[in-house]
Amino acid sequence: MLTELNSTNGANVITQDIAKKCLNEFTGHLYGLEMGVAYGGGIFGIGTNWKERGTVWGFDTYEGHPQDEMLSRCEISRNAGGINSKAARCMDIWYQPNSFGPDKIKYDYIRSELDRHNLSNVHLVKGLVTNKTDVSFIPHLHYALIDMDYPQAQRDGYELLKNKFVPGGYLCLHDMIPHGHIQGCYEIYQDILNEGLFELVTEVPNSFLVVLKKK
Over the stretch 95-136, which tens digit does the pLDDT of each residue have?
A: 998 999 999 999 999 999 999 999 999 999 999 999 999 999
**pLDDT tens digits for 22-42?**
999 999 999 999 999 999 999
User: Is 39 within 8 Å of 100 (Cβ atoms)?
Assistant: yes
Q: Indicate the burial class of 73 (C-beta count within 10 angstroms; 0-12, 13-18, 19 or more).
A: middle
Low-confidence ranges of the chain (pLDDT < 50): none
Query: For the whole model, what pTM was predicted?
Result: 0.97
Q: Supply the CATH classification number for the domain 5-214.
A: 3.40.50.150
DSSP SS3 for 50: coil
What is the reported pLDDT for 183?
A: 97
Q: Angle between the 11-25 and 41-49 helix axes, to the nearest 10 degrees? A: 30
Strand partners, 141: 165
